[in-house]
Amino acid sequence: MLITVVTIFPEMFPGPLSHSLIGKGIGRIWNLKIVDIRNFAEDKRNTVDDTPYGGGPGMVMKPDVVHEAMNHALSFYKNKPEIVFMTPRGGVFSNKMAKDFSKNHEGMIILCGRYEGVDQRVIDYWKKKYEMKEVSIGDYVLFGGEIPAMVVVDTCLRFSSGIMNNIESTVEESFSIDLLEYPQYTKPMTWNGYDVPSVLLSGNHGKIASWKLEQSKQVTRDVRPDLWARFKNNRE
């Protein structure tokens, strides 16, 4: 899988993506390319932004420069990759979305916005011609799309064969069935006056499975009532 990040801050990558299991997979399971948007500016100052029509604070990324950078990123692929634009205005990123993205073995192109955003015309063009998806990692605003891009890459690669030693971990973790994950315990059996739940020591796999499900339901009800409502609605 080839992942290409289009950004004005290429030095931010691979950053955290070079560590742990994902870092070990670079060059073996997945590859990373970085496209510097400034390389496609037409002036000596490598200008990538300008003032917005209609007034308003901040600057807007220029459509011509962004478009050329995206075309260059697309040239790395033989077939159609997933194309994602990181923006607070996008659909909220989810585990299901990550799993769907990971099914495209061609890979991904991720455009990282900055300033007040990207000229709408280049967004419209890439959405219409290449089905680019606008994606947000939450209801808040960051300085740019680079950190969200790392979140998307990290999450998607968890579903890629060869990254995780135990792929079953992705089946039972939080959000896999609209429930948060059950509590986990390890040695020692007793710590600071707290004991491991006896059911986990019973060896009865049926009872253990039931306990895990009930714990997942309980923590979801307590912590994420919105997720619990979605779980109940889907089951109905």
The per-residue pLDDT for range 164-192, each reduced to its tens digit, is 655 555 455 555 678 998 999 999 999 99
Residue 155 has pLDDT above 80, yes or no: yes
Closest to 144 measured CA to CA, from 34, 48, 7? 7
Look-up of token digits 């510097």: 36
Domain boundaries, the chain: 2-157, 174-235
pLDDT of residue 133: 98
Are 2-157 and 174-235 equal in CATH topology? no
DSSP 97-163: HHHHHHT-TTEEEEEE-BTT-B-HHHHHHHHHHH--EEEESSSS--SBSHHHHHHHHHHHHTTSTTT
Tell me the CATH number for domain 2-157: 3.40.1280.10
> How much is the pTM?
0.85
Beta bridge pairs of residue 7: 36
Give me the CATH topology for the region 174-235: Trp Operon Repressor; Chain A (1.10.1270)
Using one digit for the tens of pLDDT, what is the confidence trace for 59-118?
999 999 999 999 999 999 999 999 999 999 999 999 999 999 999 999 999 999 999 999
